[in-house]
Structure 1
Amino acid sequence: MVETRAPLRGTRTILGVVAAAVVVSVVHYVDNYVNYADYPVPGPDASVPAPSDTVVGLAWFVFTAAGAWGVWNLLRGRVVPAVVGLAFYSVSGLIGIGHYTVPGALDMPLWRQAHVVADIALGVTILVLAARLFVQNRARARA
Structure 2
Amino acid sequence: MAVVFLGGPFKALVDADGVMRPDERARLESIIAGLESAGHTVYNAHRREGWGAKFLTPAECTRLDLDEITASDVFVAFPGSPASPGTHIEIGWASALGKPVVLLLEEGVEYAFLVRGLHTVTNVTYLTLAPGEDPTERVVAVVST
Answer whether TM exceeds 0.5 for this pair: no
Greater helix fraction, Structure 1 or Structure 2: 1
TM-score between both structures, scaled by the size of structure 1: 0.29
Name the structure where strand makes up a greater proportion of residues: 2
Quick check: which has more Rg, 1 or 2? 1
